[in-house]
């Protein structure tokens, strides 16, 4: 480890405890050389904090981050994104030279520590594209989110692993949008302050459909390096982009959409059953460990899981 680096995830409420602990377990299981750090807001209860700490995960306190009152409104369908503005706090973790921000609804399936050494200009980020196919035809999604405009449609296996979609002046607008499940960044107080200023002053903010990731796409326009799909393997890609997806190439699997594995009992996930089982396999191993080391903590974790 040439410099100080960490994986970081946000935890604001106990309901995401199963996700965070399985994410951590998956990082350890692939022998990552870097720790997982949780950034937590005051809304996270003390009993949840104790469970996280007993797993050897450091907690970094942060304040909630939001646009000014009344500036941005979420659709009822996407109300779960209300806390995600606070993910931007990761940019102020200046004690680290490099951070890889991960969402709590992810599992690491192959070691990806190479992201800590990725060549990245100081004020850039690296991320993978959104999938703009909108397979559920959700009416509140942008009108130009159609398969022909999706960056993932333009690449296939195996070249998609080494040559991700590139953004040019003639690219459809969705090519300029990233998914913020995995973001590689170089934290600094200056960069965070600039981002925070953008959040409270930009006239674009009211138009954002997906809070933090639309802001990152806009702020870092022309300054984000595209990552291959495998570092933020959206679960929908396996079904929508079979020419691109390969199970054994997934580094980090992202359980996007509202139906998380821990709220979807085994046998009920339909077309996502195989991928959800990958999460449950890791959950069961976590259970074996915690029932021995922290039985009381395990009771709390299990209370947020639908069996």
Model pLDDT for residues 36-62, shown as the tens digit of each residue: 999 999 999 999 999 999 999 999 999
Residue-wise pLDDT tens digits, 266-285? 999 999 999 999 999 999 99
For residues 37 and 6, the answer to whether their CB atoms sit within 8 Å is yes
pLDDT one-digit tens code per residue, 185-195: 999 999 999 99
Domains, the chain, ordered by start = 5-130+177-302 (3.90.550.10)
Average pLDDT of 158-162?
Answer: 96
Q: Measured at the alpha carbon of residue 144, what is the angle toward residues 141 and 150, in degrees to the nearest 5?
A: 100
pTM for the model: 0.94
Instruction: For the chain, give the percent of residues with pLDDT over 90.
Output: 86
Q: Which of 258, 36, 224 is nearest to 120 (CA)?
A: 224
Say what the pLDDT of residue 69 is. 57
Dist CA 277 CA 261 (whole Å): 8
**Other beta carbons less than 10 A from residue 80's beta carbon:** 12
| N residues, the chain | 307
β-strand 98-102 against 178-185: which pairing, if any? antiparallel
pLDDT band at 68 (very low <50, low <70, confident <90, very high): low
Higher pLDDT, 80 or 267: 267
Give the count of beta carbons closer than 10 Å to the beta carbon of residue 202.
Answer: 16
Cβ of 57: how many Cβ atoms within 10 Å?
20
Q: How far is CA 41 from CA 46, 159, 204, 242, in A?
A: 11, 41, 26, 39
What are the residue ranges of helices labelled H in the chain?
Answer: 17-29, 46-54, 189-201, 211-219, 237-240, 273-293, 295-302
82 pLDDT above the threshold of 90: no
Asked if omega into 158 is within 30° of 0 (cis), the reply is yes
Q: Which residue has the higher pLDDT, 110 or 3?
A: 110
Nearest-angstrom CA–CA distance, 51 and 232 = 27
Mean pLDDT of the chain: 93
Number of other residues whose CB lies within 10 A of the CB of residue 210: 20
């Amino acid at each position: 480890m040439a410099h100080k680096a960490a994986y970081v995830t946000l935890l604001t409420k106990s309901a995401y405890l199963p996700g965070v602990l399985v994410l951590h377990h998956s990082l350890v299981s692939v022998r990552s050389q870097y720790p997982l750090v949780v950034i937590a807001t005051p809304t996270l209860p003390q009993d949840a904090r104790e469970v996280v700490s007993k797993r050897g995960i450091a907690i970094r306190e942060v304040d909630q981050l939001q646009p000014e009152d009344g500036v941005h409104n979420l659709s009822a369908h996407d109300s779960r994104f209300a806390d995600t503005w606070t993910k931007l706090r990761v940019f102020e973790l200046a004690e680290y030279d490099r951070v890889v921000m991960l969402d709590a609804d992810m599992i690491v399936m192959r070691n990806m520590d190479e992201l800590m050494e990725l060549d990245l200009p100081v004020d850039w980020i690296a991320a993978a594209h959104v999938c703009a196919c909108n397979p559920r035809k959700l009416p509140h999604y942008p009108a130009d989110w159609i398969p022909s405009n999706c960056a993932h449609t333009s690449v296939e296996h195996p070249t998609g692993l080494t040559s991700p979609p590139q953004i040019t002046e003639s690219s459809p607008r969705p090519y300029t949008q990233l998914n913020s499940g995995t973001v590689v960044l170089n934290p600094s107080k200056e960069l965070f302050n600039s981002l925070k200023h953008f959040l409270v002053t930009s006239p674009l903010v009211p138009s954002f459909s997906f809070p933090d990731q639309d802001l990152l796409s806009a702020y870092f326009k022309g300054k984000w390096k595209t990552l291959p799909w495998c570092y933020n393997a959206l679960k929908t890609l396996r079904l929508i982009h079979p020419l691109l997806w390969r199970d054994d190439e997934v580094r980090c699997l992202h359980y996007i959409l509202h139906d998380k594995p821990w709220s979807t009992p085994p046998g009920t996930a339909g077309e996502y059953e195989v991928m959800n089982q990958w999460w449950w396999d890791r959950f069961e191993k976590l259970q074996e460990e915690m029932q021995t080391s922290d039985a009381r903590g395990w009771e709390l974790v299990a209370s947020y899981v639908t069996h």
